[in-house]
Amino acid sequence: MKIPDTKKFSKMIFANIYKLYLQKIERKGKTKEELDTIISWLTGYDKKGIKKQIKNNSDFETFFKKAPKLNPNSSKITGMICGYRIEDIEDKLVQKVRYLDKLVDELAKGRAMDKILRK
């Protein structure tokens, strides 16, 4: 499934979106540590790596390109996000961004961490 304006995803600054993710989950009583855990699970970044990407104002293209290793279970992240079925998104960068969006949504909704991390 094609998504319009896929280039906008590549130039979005991770640090800006991270702040929005953090605000979203904190409103629901979740913590920065939990957010960092799901980001680490998806991308392979440790806390230091996440901080470095934030400090460098990396865009999403750079963030995912430099990610140590996309979790092999990321393909188990399915469902709808912003009106699109994640597993049908053709652009791999957009799909990775939507994987992250979905994980953050699940965290904010109070889903158990084991289920979020597809264990």
- Per domain, the residue ranges of the chain are 6-116
* pLDDT score at 119: 86
CATH number belonging to the domain at 6-116, selected among 1.20.1530.20, 1.10.10.10, 1.10.10.350, 1.10.8.290: 1.10.8.290
Residues of the chain with pLDDT below 70 are: 1-6
| Segments in 2-91 forming alpha helices (H) | 6-11, 14-27, 32-43, 47-55, 60-65
Q: Which of 116, 99, 31, 102 is closest to 60 using CA atoms?
A: 99
* pLDDT score at 5: 60
Q: Are 93 and 10 in contact (CB under 8 A)?
A: yes
Return the bridge partners of 81, or none.
Answer: 84
Question: How many angstroms from the chain centroid is the CA of residue 113?
Answer: 15
pTM for the model stands at 0.92
Residue 83: strand, helix, or coil:
coil
* pLDDT score at 83: 85
* pLDDT score at 75: 93
Residues whose CB is less than 8 angstroms from the CB of residue 76 and which lie 6 or more positions away in sequence, other chains included: 118
* pLDDT score at 3: 54
The Cα–Cα gap between 103 and 39 comes to: 8
